[in-house]
Structures are given as structure tokens and as C-alpha cells.
Structure 1
């Protein structure tokens, strides 16, 4: 089971790092999943991730107070709006766009109601 959690953490970390440079791929959720995987498989990697100067801070903010930085909130909201615009531009069926818009609004509401770090 330890190998599973290690692989899970490494894959989540890789996706999180890709999300740093890819506008539509989120970063923090994958970093949180990586922290979970490493906490169950490798104390050394878990400490490294939490202590990392760039990757560790959003995890620490979330773990300490459920907080999300204002910049991250704006980036997430902009990404969600971008996805919605692309869906319309590529001709996604109107019913699916409505479902997508409702889901993204719920996610945005969750994000914006979290405390700020």
C-alpha cells in the first residue's frame, strides 16, 4: 500500500508542477493530493514538499486555516471563465454549457468563501 501512496503522491506532484505553467490546470489541489500521498508513504518527501519555498506555502495555508491566497482565487476564477468561454467557442451543446456553468459557479463560490492567506 505504501508503494500505491508514493506513486499517487508523485503523479499528483507532477500534475501540480505542470499546473504551474498551464493556465487551465489547477496546481493547489494536486499539491494537496501529493501531500496526502507523501504523508502516507514517505516522511522525507512529505517534509520536503511542505518545506519547499514555492510549493509548500499553499499547502501550509490550507492545512493551517483552510485559506486560499487572493491571487490564487483570481487565477482559479479566470481559468474557470476561460474554460467556459472555450466551451461556447467550440460549440459545446447549450445544455452542457449550462451544467458546466452551474458547476463552475459552485466551485467559484466555494473558493471565494474560503479565508484569505
Structure 2
């Protein structure tokens, strides 16, 4: 995450990266209000320490169990979308120019899978 000229890397000490991501996202408003600086507002590690979140083990565990498959599906769908776009970009010009026919393109697709 980048804020102003500073970059922070967050790592979940409890093995719940999706909970951390969403909880930190909910803190942004608090952090912006706590920002300080003489020339421009800045968010420091001291500012980060002012954030507060609910720390309930059962809720955290349930959230991670629910969110993890959703985020993994988002990642899988994104990768599949990139693959499909690359395939389209490769095949469409050849189909449009007549360099290959649809049946040949289908065969290439099946072979690639």
C-alpha cells in the first residue's frame, strides 16, 4: 500500500491476510484524519498505531473462512480473463485476415488446454 511518498507492507501475523486487507481498508478514514505534517499530511507508523479495530477471534476466523474462497475465486477469474484476452489477441487478427479458419483455431485452443 502506498500513501503519499511512503510505502508500507502489511503482513498478517495470524495468517489471515484477507481479514487484514479488509480491516486496514476500513481504517483509511481514521488514518487520514490522524495524518499530520508541516508541508503535507503524512501517515507514519505512529499514525498507524492510532487505528483501532474489533479483535474478536471467532469473528476473525469466520470472516477469513468466508472471504478466502471469494478472494481466491477473484484471483482465478482474473488469471483466466488474462489468458482469454491473450488468446483473443493472438487468434483474432489471424481469423480476420483469413490466415487460419475457425476450425483450425478451435483445434489450436483444444491443444493449448
TM-score by length of 1: 0.30
Bigger-Rg structure (1/2): 2
TM-score by length of 2: 0.30
